[in-house]
Amino acid sequence: MTAMLSRSNEILHDPLFQAGRQVAEAEERREQQIRVLSALAQGSPARIYAEHVLSEIERTIALSRMNQELIESLLA
């Protein structure tokens, strides 16, 4: 049981694992935001703001992927 907990703890502190998890979570947020956008009226203030949020999520994904690639190259 202790070995299993240690392995789980080790994975949680693995920088490459964390970077991959950040990318996956941001991609999930993007999908959620796209669903929100589809329910909003074109040109409405709420939609304009939601589009801005989506662009920030896209930026986060790009930065998270770059971080993941940097970690991969440092560990290689």
pLDDT number for residue 3: 54
Q: pLDDT tens digits for 53-71?
A: 999 999 999 999 999 999 9
CA 22/CA 29 separation, integer angstroms: 11
pTM: 0.80
Instruction: Give Cα separations from 42 to 22, 25, 57, 70, 72 (angstroms).
Output: 30, 27, 20, 39, 41
User: Is the distance from CB of 34 to CB of 53 less than 8 angstroms?
Assistant: no
Which residue would you say has higher pLDDT here, 1 or 26?
26
User: Letter for the amino acid at 32?
Assistant: Q
